[in-house]
Structure 1
Amino acid sequence: MTPLSLPDEVRQSGQSYLQLTDEAVPGLVKGLYLHGSLAYGDFRPGRSDIDFLAVLSERPSGKAVDALREVFAELRSRHPRPYFDGLHVTHADLAGSPYDCPDVPCVQEWDFRPAGHFGRNPVTWHELAERAVTVRGPRLTADDVWRDRTALRTYSHANLDEYWKPKLDELRAGQEWVHDGPAGRGEWVTEWFVLGVARLHHLLATDRLTSKTGAGHHALTAFGERRQPIVHEALRIREGAAASAYEGEPIARLRDTIEFAATAIEEGRRLGP
């Protein structure tokens, strides 16, 4: 994917970000790269966020960090959605392990942090190394970005235990908050859990990264017929299709979401790092 072929809302947000940063701190942003759903051709308007990594000419000072905060305040006013989520690193940071990278300016859902670790992980580094969408700067090569498949698998395996299992426990304990309401929160929960956990299982089973949609197609064959209805439902929600096999049955959808997530987490843990 090239900048010219990006969805309009992505291109506009990226152009505004570069314009604002160039005006606020000239020469600071040397490279802007997109990853996540965009890199897989799986960006869904109205559902996907924009995942970015900016390569800076130097570690920003206090004034430059304050300027970046103002940049994101203005960017939010111009383009409130999709979120423009990411982090700011140096070329040396990207060439080394994300675990060696210090806390850096980052933003998640317009929450700007002068020094944080959002997005600083092996998945981000590997996505950039393998399929970054270049908006500004030279195309990234194998020599530019750190990669370590063992570290990627270890991180993904730990993510099942440290992130998704506690989230599943919360889901089981608070089922009332996922019933459908005006915002269709129950649908969002199914898409998020089923495809999110399936992505990690896919990585551990195949040693390859994939998109949420790719993970759903993997899950259709990896978990047998019994789990296919909830996987089809998660894919339907992501694709924005109208007809649902769970129409009027939010409790059944929630039950199947919980059962799928529990199964996928356990099977992913058995695959090992």
Structure 2
Amino acid sequence: MQTEVLLDRFLAGLAPLSPVAVWAHGSLAGGDYQEGRSDLDLIAVLDSVGPRMVWRLATLHARLRAEPLAGQLHCTYLTPSADPGRRHLTWAHEELFKRPVTPVTRRELHSFGRVLHGKPPADLLPPVTDRELADFVVRDQRDFWRPALDNAPLWTRDVWVDLGLLTFARASVTLREGRLISKREALELLPGLGSPVEVVADIRGRRYGDPGPAPANRAELTRNYLGPAIDELVAAYG
């Protein structure tokens, strides 16, 4: 399996840096991983992430580029005492930048994170309260996804259609029931939430089966559905 080969190479390359812990979250930990389609979402905890360490991490990821799935390996680097809400060094989309570890990611790690090396998440990460999780989910829908609907060209791309609809379904369940669900579960729930069935079929085909031609008006259907749906969700829980 190419995924395990890549993970083994990554962990072997990271070993000389003496990581405190390495964890997987997202679909790789939650049982909905689709090789070649899903990202490999990782968190590594190091004693320090100074300039020399940044250089060594960049070199490690550069050496992995020959692996078939290397472009889908995303890893955020923390230190044991760091506030996860701060922006942290991250390798994703084949470059280094900084981003926070969101409450959703932290809840995933506490609920079903996969320990690849070292200490478990509960030993190093503060827990996420239900209120903190709900507040973040509302902000994400209101401040990121809702404004993004005004940028029509984005929604001609698969990734925006897929994540926009799936994230909305997952947010709906988190706010209503206080739990996290997989992308597969979200896909099954979308028709019941009123989403356009032809777009849901398009996502399902590309993620789990043989993709067919996308609906010609897919972007319009998605944007017309998500705008009112997000407004209603935010009004109910914001």
User: Shorter-chain TM-score category?
Assistant: 0.7 to 0.9
Say yes or no: does 1:40 pair with 2:30. Answer: yes
How far does the alpha carbon of each residue in 1:28-77 deviate from its partner, in whole angstroms, 9 at most, with x for none?
A: x1211000112221112221110000111x12232122111111111223
User: 2:74 maps to which residue?
Assistant: 85
User: 1:138 maps to which residue?
Assistant: 119
How far does the alpha carbon of each residue in 1:87-122 deviate from its partner, in whole angstroms, 9 at most, with x for none?
A: 1112333xxx533x4x43211111113xx22x5211
| Inter-partner Cα distance in structure 2 for 1:248 and 1:230 | 8
Secondary structure of the residue aligned to 1:92 is coil
| Inter-partner Cα distance in structure 1 for 2:214 and 2:122 | 50
Moved over 6 A (4+): none
Count of aligned pairs between the two proteins: 238
| Inter-partner Cα distance in structure 1 for 2:11 and 2:214 | 46
**Aligned-pair RMSD on alpha carbons?**
2.4
| Inter-partner Cα distance in structure 2 for 1:207 and 1:256 | 28
User: 1:182 maps to which residue?
Assistant: none
After superposing the two structures, state which structure 1 stretch, 119-128 or 192-201, moved more. Answer: 192-201
Secondary structure of the residue aligned to 1:209 is coil
For the Cα contact (< 8 Å) 2:64–2:70, is it kept in 1?
Answer: no
| Inter-partner Cα distance in structure 2 for 1:206 and 1:220 | 18
How far does the alpha carbon of each residue in 1:214-259 deviate from its partner, in whole angstroms, 9 at most, with x for none?
A: 1122222233xx74343333223321334x5xx57412x2222122
Say yes or no: does 1:263 pair with 2:205. Answer: no
| Inter-partner Cα distance in structure 2 for 1:248 and 1:121 | 32
Which has more radius of gyration?
Answer: 1
Structure 2 spans left out of the alignment, 5+ residues: none
Q: How does 1:226-265 map to 2 (within 5 A)?
A: 227-242=196-211, 247=213, 249-251=215-217, 253-265=218-230
How far does the alpha carbon of each residue in 1:146-188 deviate from its partner, in whole angstroms, 9 at most, with x for none?
A: 21221111111011121111211102xx38x72xxxxxx4x44
| Inter-partner Cα distance in structure 2 for 1:196 and 1:144 | 24
Q: How does 1:194-209 map to 2 (within 5 A)?
A: 194-209=165-180
| Inter-partner Cα distance in structure 2 for 1:78 and 1:267 | 44
For the Cα contact (< 8 Å) 2:25–2:41, is it kept in 1?
Answer: yes
1:59 to 26, 40, 48: 48
Say yes or no: does 1:167 pair with 2:148. Answer: yes
Distance 1:17 1:249, change over 3 A: closer
| Inter-partner Cα distance in structure 2 for 1:215 and 1:232 | 13
User: 1:98 maps to which residue?
Assistant: 84
For the Cα contact (< 8 Å) 1:87–1:106, is it kept in 2?
Answer: yes
The offset of 1:16, in angstroms, is 1.1
Secondary structure of the residue aligned to 2:149 is helix
> Structure 1-normalised TM-score?
0.77
Structure 1 spans left out of the alignment, 5+ residues: 1-7, 179-184
The offset of 1:271, in angstroms, is 2.6
For the Cα contact (< 8 Å) 2:20–2:118, is it kept in 1?
Answer: yes
The offset of 1:204, in angstroms, is 1.6
The offset of 1:9, in angstroms, is 2.6
Percentage identity across paired residues of the two chains = 22
